[in-house]
């Protein structure tokens, strides 16, 4: 009996881990695009927040959770476009603009959430995602409940991983994106449109950040609350570095960081006396360690953060 209990605990934990890792994974996947194209986007937290509210609002007004996700993706994409305009065309400082986007996201969502849903009313019923057990597969012992009993958004994110990997490392467009991030001058010389690639990457990055936000408000927590991303955008940023700018690495990092989060909830619930704050620090400390080369070398795309000017 004790053994079965233990197995159940692990299954529950891994399943929760996957659930909490998804928003990190989605946002980090978006960041892979932007960073591979040579753009540092510190504003992903703000973009996620906007996605969270847009998702709930979309679902509220259109009556369908998938349409909510679509609204969030469009909202994120538009923010990505605006970001691209500022850092690619206007060549503004990417880090500064990113910080502004975080403040903007917080301001916009906090202000407009009150307008859309009122201040003191109970949260309205909205269509959101429920776990869907995949027939047959969900019956597999251990693996089934861990992997195949989630909301559709989780499956979608997991399918996205190999696709993004294939796109970035096996297609010409993927090669172009990476070339722009490593050496925009050389890419330009061989006829790649650096501006177009960077615009595209920013829009995709923003759209995925928006989707990550909608996952929070439509699948994980089922409503919008002020500042609900709670730093997940920054953890996603950490996951990209820790995952060495590859989809597989990012998946691993997101799972690792998600595990810390899931463990933290358990520690808090169990009232164990172990300070959970120290656990919450781990992703950030690991990322700094990775940057310093303690956990394998983390090398960013060479042109990352630099604006490009055609001569």
Partner 1 sequence: MTTRAGSNAGQVIVGGLKSLITPVVAIVLALILGAAAIALMGLDPLVAYQSMLQGALGSTNGIGETMVKATPLIFTGLSFGLAKKAGLTNIGAEGQLYMGGLLSVIVGISLKGLPIFIHLPLAILAGFIGGGLLGLLSGWLKVRFGASEIITTVMLNYVAQYFVSYMVNGPLIEPPGNFPQSPPVAASAQLPIILAGTRLHLGFIIAILAILAYYIFMWRTNTGYELRVVGQNPQAAAYAGMNAARTTLLSMFLAGGMGGLAGVGEILGIQHRLFQNFSPGYGFDGIAVSLLGYNSPIGIFLAAILFGILRAGGNMMQMIANVPIAVVYIIQAFVIIFVAAEALLRRRRSKRKAARVQATPAVAEVGKNG
Smaller CB separation from partner 1, 131 or 231: 231
Minimum CB distance to partner 1 smaller for 7 or for 285: 285
CA distances to 103, 119, 260 from 90, rounded to whole Å, are: 20, 38, 39
Q: How far is the C-alpha of 182 from the C-alpha of 64, rounded, in Å?
A: 41
> Which residues in this chain contact partner 1 in the complex, by CB under 8 A?
40, 42, 86, 89-93, 95-97, 99-104, 106-108, 110-112, 114-115, 231, 234, 237-238, 241, 275, 277-278, 280-281, 284-285, 287-288, 291-293, 300, 305
Least distance (Å) between residue 252 CB and partner 1 = 18
Give the shortest CB-86-to-partner 1 separation in angstroms. 5
Q: Considering beta carbons, is residue 161 or 300 the nearer one to partner 1?
A: 300
Q: How far apart are CA 31 and CA 138, in angstroms?
A: 31
Shortest distance, position 126 Cβ to partner 1, whole Å: 21
Q: How far is CA 172 from CA 166, 175, 176, 187, 281, in A?
A: 11, 5, 6, 13, 39
* Cβ count near 224 (within 10 Å): 26
Least distance in angstroms from the C-beta of 12 to partner 1 = 25
DSSP bridge pairs for 150: 132
CB of 200 to partner 1, least distance (A): 20
Question: Nearer Cβ to partner 1, position 14 or 216?
Answer: 216
Distances (CA, A) of 89 to 8, 43, 78, 125, 287: 53, 17, 15, 42, 31
Adjacent-strand bridge partners of 132 = 150
Q: Nearest 5°: phi and psi at 273?
A: 85, -10
Shortest distance, position 165 Cβ to partner 1, whole Å: 24
Measured from the CB atom, the residue of 169 and 265 that comes closer to partner 1 is: 265
CB 14 within 8 A of CB 146: yes
By beta-carbon proximity to partner 1, the closer residue of 15 and 94 is: 94
């Amino acid at each position: 009996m004790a053994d079965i209990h233990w197995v159940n605990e692990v299954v529950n934990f891994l399943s929760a881990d996957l659930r909490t890792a998804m928003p990190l994974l989605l946002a980090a996947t978006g960041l892979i695009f932007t960073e591979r194209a040579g753009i540092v986007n510190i504003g992903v937290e703000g973009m996620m927040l906007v996605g969270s509210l847009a998702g709930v609002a979309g679902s509220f007004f259109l009556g369908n959770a998938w349409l909510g996700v679509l609204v969030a993706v469009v909202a994120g994409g538009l923010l990505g476009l605006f970001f691209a305009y500022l850092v690619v065309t206007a060549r503004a400082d990417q880090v500064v603009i990113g910080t502004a986007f975080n403040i903007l996201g917080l301001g916009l969502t906090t202000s407009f959430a009150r307008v859309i849903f009122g201040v003191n009313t109970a949260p309205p019923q909205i269509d959101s995602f429920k776990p869907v057990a995949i027939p047959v597969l969900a019956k597999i012992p251990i693996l089934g409940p861990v992997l195949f009993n989630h909301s559709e958004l989780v499956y979608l994110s997991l399918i996205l991983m190999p696709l993004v990997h294939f796109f970035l490392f096996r297609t010409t467009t993927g090669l172009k994106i990476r070339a722009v991030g490593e050496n925009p001058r050389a890419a330009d010389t061989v006829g790649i449109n650096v501006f177009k690639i960077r615009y595209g990457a920013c829009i995709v990055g923003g759209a995925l950040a928006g989707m990550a936000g909608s996952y929070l408000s439509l699948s994980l927590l089922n409503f919008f609350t002020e500042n609900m991303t709670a730093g997940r955008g920054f953890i996603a940023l950490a996951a990209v570095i820790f995952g060495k700018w590859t989809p597989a690495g990012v998946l691993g990092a997101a799972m690792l960081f998600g595990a810390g989060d899931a463990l933290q909830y358990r520690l808090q619930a169990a009232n164990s006396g172990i300070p959970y704050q120290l656990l919450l620090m781990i992703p950030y400390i690991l990322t700094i360690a990775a940057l310093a080369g303690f956990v394998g070398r983390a090398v960013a795309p060479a042109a990352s953060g630099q604006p490009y000017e055609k001569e």
